[in-house]
């Protein structure tokens, strides 16, 4: 039964014109990395590491990935609700949590496929050597966790309100891109920070630890990520449980 | 799938007790109570009367603001297991246009956790006669075909209860006959079927019992014939304008079968209990008074007025 | 009103049935034609942008964003009017850079509504069956959005001008010296408005749903700006020019600088630094930026026209 749900969601997500935007999201980091490689002649150094981390943090994790997750997460559930096909799923004896979980899983997989390889390749292009690939795996892991977390939050948001995209955009551009950058204390409530800290799994064992300095320690971000993920699942299921069919808009 | 069902549980299939539903200040459903039994029931009423709201509440997709909606003895709201026993055919489009009917009904069967989804899907598709087109994408279907696909998907798990919201909307006469026959058969096998419509004729042939809903209230319930009789035997009102209303009024007051409701220099309203006789005799009667008739209009022939009358009963 | 009298026109008899002319009203008045239709569409779009004729939320949104965009200018006027000496808190050419995010937000939100609502409600076929041509439709929308944007681009700059004037030691002399700035203000704000409106609408019309259009517009505008700014800091000045010429917002900023003759004279050695120095780094003759902004607007408009010629209502 999960297979059916997953396959329905996959087919809904793929083959849409909006996926062109997703392609852009994958291509930008690699393009930037290539430009960097061709213009800066620097060897593997602190500078390249900083650039890689800076790009991943400021561009990929703050803007690119959340936008991709917003597109996918709200398409996975929000479009169904808007189109009315959600009623097809909701009038089946499936627990609401299962629906949410599958939607999150599918959108996470697609988001991951789009962004994680791009991030890893981009990082590798900028800052690589046989011994210093910790940065690549570390940033890759952070991106993976961020993909799952953002998708979870946005799917739950779609179950909660049909203006999920506007709320999501406000969250990304006001909270993540702005407020948490200016007021560090707010980073305790930032999804990006929950994800970034995971990178230390691979990076702390590397010299590159000097310029990768996430705000939250790895254990704090581990806890934060798990809490956020579980909370999103529960909240989303709760909203679906109380789903009321709306007036035809 | 067409076999007769086992005995129903002692609870009636669907029970509504003092159910109301409002949206802010708009009351969509106003204190409605009824019980549904096996067989086909028609939910009749003008547009905006609250039919869809009622059906959605029965299907657990809306929470009643007041009262309770019981299906098979337990509340319909927040009851995921409810869906093992009911099938809903909504009015809105709920089909994935990139799927074929076969894939859609098969998916439905799998989501209902049936033991043999493929067989069930095949049977359901045969029942709605979509076998020929079942591998085409539903985005290419006509509305009637999509409707049938929806019905197949709702029937695939052999539910005891079937809820259809305006199923005849957009169907041509041939499709209507087909669906009619199919629903009758299903009703005869002991299932509880409720469908909504705002067209009398659709309900007439198919439904054994009718519930009439107007402006959120239950206006009438019972067999079709009985309601029809009530409707024709009601007093009819007319507005009359003539050159000498006074003369006319004086002349009509004496008659026992005509009662005067209101009267002023401009407009006069009369009521009669015998519609047929009245129409035959009124024109010569007025002529006999030597009065010119300007206007004679029935005052309450709309469905709403009829229902208003029924509500007052 | 006399319409209830049965007009005995020519009854058409056909096998016992009779038709009476009940006075169906035809429209014999003036038909105002295409120009009026275009004007009406323009006014309607403008009203919709500011939420007039819609709910409170759109009004709130539009006026809210406008207020935020005007706030720095208002502050400037307040300071300038009250401080004793010649005072220049804000420069005209910096203003668009300052409120860049607000502008992008406004364009995104409004362009999605303008093209999305007609698609969602399927009113395109209504429009295209009127005297209005397909090109007129999208041109009217672009013009309406550009006009609305003037409130965010022209008004604040004029406010700054007024503020400077009030704060000047010798009013009339200051006016003589700085009158030409008015021309520049007008040119830069008109160009900026047309540019943002056409680019925004061109992006928005590709998405099928309003919400995704929003993501698309904001995403493309912000990402292109961010991306190009990073790239410019890495590459040589030749490539920097190319990249900036392709980025809508950069072109807008650079053209504004050129109009106010404020491109830093000395080209920096590297592309790092704030956007004025990046413009200087690109080291292109100022006129090029002017041509670029016109080209962007023209290209975007042309794209929009092409698409609406092909779209099936």
Interchain contact, A12 vs B107, CB within 8 Å = no
Residue A147 has pLDDT above 90, yes or no: yes
Cα–chain center distance at B210: 7
Predicted confidence (pLDDT) at residue B180 exceeds the cutoff of 60: yes
* Cβ-Cβ contacts under 8 Å, B241 against chain C: 4
- pLDDT of B305 higher than 70: no
Q: Tens digit of pLDDT for each residue in B12-38?
A: 689 999 999 998 888 999 999 999 988
Whether B93 contacts chain C with CB within 8 A: no
Nearest chain A residue to C210 by CA distance is: A165
Residue percentage of chain A with pLDDT more than 70 = 92
Give the per-residue pLDDT at C76.
82
Task: Report whether A188 contacts A216 (CB < 8 A).
Answer: yes
Reference B8, options B33, B29, B36, B34; nearest CA is: B36
Name the helix (H) or strand (E) containing B238: strand B236-242
Q: What is the DSSP string of chain C?
A: --TTS------EEETTEEE----PPPP-S---HHHHHHHHHHHHHHHHHTTTTS-HHHHHHHHHHHHHHHHHHHHHHHHHHHSSS---SS-HHHHHHHTHHHHHHHHHHHHHHHHHHHHHTT-HHHHHTSS--HHHHHHHHHHHHHHHHHHHHHHHHHHHHHHHHHH-SSHHHHHHHHHHHHHHHHHHHHHHHHHHHHHHHHHHTT-SSHHHHHHHHHHHHHHHHHHHHHHHHHS-HHHHHHHHHH-HHHHHHHHHHHHTT-S-SSPPSSS-S-HHHHHHHHT--HHHHHHHHHHHHHHHHHHHHHHHHH---
3-state secondary structure of B289: coil
List all residues 6 or more positions away from C168 whose beta carbon is below 8 Å from its beta carbon. Answer: C86, C174
Which of A5-14, A48-57, A151-160, B142-151 is the most confident on average? A151-160
Q: Which residues contact C306 (CB under 8 A, 6 or more apart)?
A: none
* Residue of chain A whose Cα is closest to the Cα of B153: A88
Most confident of A60-69, B263-272, C52-61: A60-69
- Which chains have 3 or more CB–CB distances shorter than 8 Å to chain B? A, C
Chain C neighbours, 3+ Cβ pairs < 8 A: A, B
- The pLDDT, as a whole number, for residue B300 is 60
Q: Is B112 on the interface with A (CB under 8 A)?
A: yes
Among residues of chain B, what percentage have pLDDT more than 90?
35
- pLDDT-derived band at B3 (thresholds 50, 70, 90) equals very low
Which among C1, C4, C20 is the top mutation candidate for probing chain B, defined by the most B β-carbons within 10 Å of its own β-carbon?
C4
Q: What residues of chain A lie within 8 A of the CB of B99, using their CB? A: 11
Q: Name the residue among A55, A63, A70 with its Cβ closest to that of C223.
A: A63
What pLDDT is recorded for position A138?
84
Work out the number of other CB atoms within 10 angstroms of the CB of residue C71: 13
Name the token pair of C261.
């003759």
End-to-end CA distance of chain C: 41
Angle subtended by helix axes C171-204 and C210-234, to nearest 10: 120
**Least-confidence region, from A78-87, B82-91, B268-277, C285-294:** B268-277
pTM of the model: 0.82
Q: Which of A90, A84, A102 is nearest to A241 (CA)?
A: A90
pLDDT digits (tens, 9 = 90+) for C78-124: 877 777 665 566 777 778 877 888 889 899 989 998 888 888 888 88
**Tokens 């956020």, located at residue:** A228
* B-chain residue closest to C4, CA distance: B295
B82 touches A at CB < 8 Å: yes
CA-based nearest residue to B21, from B42, B49, B41, B47: B49
pLDDT for res C144: 94
Whether C5 sits inside 8 A of B297 (CB atoms) is no
Q: Inform me whether the pLDDT recorded for B75 exceeds 50.
A: yes
pLDDT of C6 = 40
- Judge: A71–C215 Cβ closer than 8 Å, yes or no: yes
Res A229 pLDDT > 90: yes
Q: What is the rounded CA–CA span in Å between residue B131 and residue B135?
A: 8
Q: pLDDT tier at A146 (50, 70, 90 boundaries)?
A: very high
Q: Is A87 on the interface with B (CB under 8 A)?
A: yes
Top-confidence residue, A227 or C71: A227
Beta bridge partners of B17: B68
- For residue C162, the distance in angstroms to the closest alpha carbon of chain A comes to 32
C231 and chain A in contact, CB less than 8 A:
yes
Residue B144 neighbours by CB distance under 10 Å: 18
Task: Compute the Cα dihedral for A224, A226, A227, A231 and give only its sign.
Answer: positive
What radius of gyration, in Å, describes the C-alpha atoms of chain A? 19
- Could you tell me which of B199, B209, B196, B212 has the C-alpha nearest to residue B59? B196
C240 versus B277: the higher-pLDDT residue is: C240
From chain B, pick out residues whose CB is under 8 angstroms from the CB of C5.
Answer: 294-295
Pairwise CA distance, residues B297 & B302, whole Å: 12
| Residue of C233, C234, C228, C243 lying closest to A36 (CA atoms) | C234
Average model confidence (pLDDT) across chain C: 82
From chain A residues 186-245, the ones with a CB under 8 A of any chain B CB are 241-245
Rg (CA), chain B: 25
Every domain of chain A and the residues it spans: 2-243
Output the pLDDT for position B59. 93
Per-residue confidence (pLDDT) for residue A248, from 0 to 100: 42
The predicted pLDDT at position A1 comes to: 75
C160 touches chain A (CB under 8 A): no
Please tell me if residue C5 touches chain B, with a CB cutoff of 8 Å: yes
* pLDDT confidence band for B94 (50 / 70 / 90): confident
Q: Report chain A residues whose CB lies below 8 A from the CB of C106.
A: none
Partners of B41 in the β-ladder: B194, B209
The predicted-structure confidence for A170-224, as pLDDT tens digits, reads as follows 888 888 877 777 787 888 888 888 888 888 777 766 555 566 777 777 788 889 9
Per CB-CB distance under 8 Å, the chain C contacts of B294 are 4-5
pLDDT value of position C229 = 86
Residue A18 touches chain C, beta carbons under 8 Å:
yes
**Averaged confidence pLDDT in chain B:** 83
Tell if the CB–CB gap between B81 and A89 is shorter than 8 Å. Answer: no
Q: Within chain C, which residues score under 50 in pLDDT?
A: 1-10
Mean pLDDT confidence for A30-38: 86
């Amino acid at each position: 039964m999960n297979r059916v749900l997953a396959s329905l969601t996959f087919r809904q997500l793929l083959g849409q014109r909006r996926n062109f935007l997703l392609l852009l999201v994958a291509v930008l980091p690699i393009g930037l990395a290539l430009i960097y490689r061709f213009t800066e002649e620097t060897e593997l150094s602190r500078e390249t590491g900083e650039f890689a981390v800076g790009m991943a943090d400021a561009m990929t994790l703050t803007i690119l990935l959340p936008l991709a997750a917003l597109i996918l997460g709200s398409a996975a559930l929000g479009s169904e609700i808007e189109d009315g096909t959600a009623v097809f799923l909701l009038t089946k004896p499936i627990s609401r949590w299962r629906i949410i979980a599958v939607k999150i899983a599918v959108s996470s997989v697609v988001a991951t496929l789009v962004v994680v390889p791009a991030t890893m390749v981009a990082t590798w292009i900028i800052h690589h050597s046989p011994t210093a690939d910790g940065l690549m795996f570390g940033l890759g892991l952070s991106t993976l966790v961020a993909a799952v977390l953002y998708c979870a939050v946005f799917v739950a948001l779609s179950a909660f309100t049909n203006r999920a995209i506007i709320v999501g955009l406000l969250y990304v551009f006001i909270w993540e891109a702005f407020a948490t950058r200016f007021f560090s204390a707010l980073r305790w409530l930032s999804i990006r920070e929950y994800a970034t800290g995971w990178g230390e799994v691979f990076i702390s064992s590397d010299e590159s630890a000097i310029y990768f300095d996430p705000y939250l320690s790895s254990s704090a971000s581990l806890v934060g990520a798990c809490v956020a993920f579980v909370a999103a699942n529960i909240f989303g299921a709760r909203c679906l449980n109380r789903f009321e069919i709306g007036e035809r808009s | 799938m067409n076999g007769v069902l086992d005995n129903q549980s002692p609870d009636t299939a669907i029970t509504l007790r003092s159910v109301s539903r409002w949206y802010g200040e708009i009351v969509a459903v106003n204190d409605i109570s009824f019980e549904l039994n096996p067989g086909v029931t028609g939910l009749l009423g003008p547009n905006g009367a609250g039919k869809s709201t009622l059906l959605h509440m029965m299907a657990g997709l809306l929470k009643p603001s007041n009262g309770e909606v019981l299906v098979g003895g337990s509340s319909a709201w927040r009851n995921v297991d409810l869906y093992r026993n009911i099938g809903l055919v909504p009015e809105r489009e709920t089909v994935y246009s990139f799927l074929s009917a076969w894939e859609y009904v098969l998916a439905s069967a799998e989501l209902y956790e049936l033991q043999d989804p493929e067989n069930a899907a095949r049977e359901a598709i045969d029942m709605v006669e979509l076998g020929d087109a079942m591998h085409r994408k539903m985005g290419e279907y006509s509305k009637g075909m999509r409707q049938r696909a929806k019905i197949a998907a709702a029937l695939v798990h052999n539910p005891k209860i079937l809820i259809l919201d305006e199923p005849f909307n957009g169907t041509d006469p041939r499709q209507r006959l087909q669906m009619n026959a199919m629903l009758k058969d299903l009703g005869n096998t002991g299932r509880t079927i409720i469908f909504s419509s705002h067209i009398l004729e659709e309900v007439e042939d198919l439904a054994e019992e009718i519930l009439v809903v107007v402006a959120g209230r239950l206006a009438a319930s019972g067999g079709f014939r009985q309601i029809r009789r009530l409707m024709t035997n009601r007093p009819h009102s007319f507005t009359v304008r003539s050159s000498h209303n006074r003369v006319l009024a004086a002349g009509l007051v004496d008659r026992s079968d005509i009662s005067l409701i209101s009267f002023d220099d401009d407009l006069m309203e009369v009521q009669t209990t015998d519609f047929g006789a009245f129409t035959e005799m009124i024109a010569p009667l007025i002529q006999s008074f030597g009065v010119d008739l300007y206007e004679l209009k029935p005052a309450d022939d709309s469905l709403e007025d009829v229902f208003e009358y029924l509500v007052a009963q | 009103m006399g319409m209830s009298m049965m007009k005995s026109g020519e009854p058409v008899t056909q096998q016992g049935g009779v038709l009476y002319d009940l006075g169906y009203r035809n429209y014999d008045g003036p038909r105002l034609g295409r120009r009026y239709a275009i004007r009406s569409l323009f006014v309607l779009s403008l009203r919709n942008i500011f939420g007039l004729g819609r709910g409170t939320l759109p009004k709130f949104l539009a006026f809210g964003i406008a207020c935020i965009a005007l706030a720095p200018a208002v502050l400037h006027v307040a300071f300038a009017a009250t401080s004793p000496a010649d005072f220049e808190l804000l420069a005209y050419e910096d203003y668009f850079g300052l409120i860049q995010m607000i502008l992008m937000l406004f364009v995104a939100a409004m362009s999605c509504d303008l093209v999305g609502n007609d698609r969602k409600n399927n009113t395109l076929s209504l429009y295209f069956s009127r005297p209005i041509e397909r090109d007129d439709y999208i041109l009217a929308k672009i013009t309406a959005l550009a006009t609305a944007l003037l409130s965010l681009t022209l008004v604040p700059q004029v406010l700054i001008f007024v503020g400077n004037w009030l704060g000047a030691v010798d009013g009339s002399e200051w006016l003589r010296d700085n009158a030409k700035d008015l021309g520049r203000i007008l040119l830069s704000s008109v160009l900026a408005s047309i540019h943002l409106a056409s680019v925004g609408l061109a992006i928005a019309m590709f998405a099928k749903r309003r919400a995704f259009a929003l993501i698309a517009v904001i995403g493309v505008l912000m990402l292109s700006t961010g991306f190009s700014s990073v790239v410019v800091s890495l590459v040589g000045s030749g490539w920097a020019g190319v990249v900036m010429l392709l980025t809508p917002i950069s072109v807008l900023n650079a053209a504004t600088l050129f109009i106010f003759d404020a491109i830093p004279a000395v080209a920096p050695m590297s592309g790092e630094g704030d956007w004025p120095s990046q413009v200087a780094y690109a080291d292109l003759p100022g006129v090029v930026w002017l041509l670029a902004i016109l080209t962007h607007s023209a290209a975007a408009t042309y794209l929009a026209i092409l698409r609406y010629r092909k779209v099936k209502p």
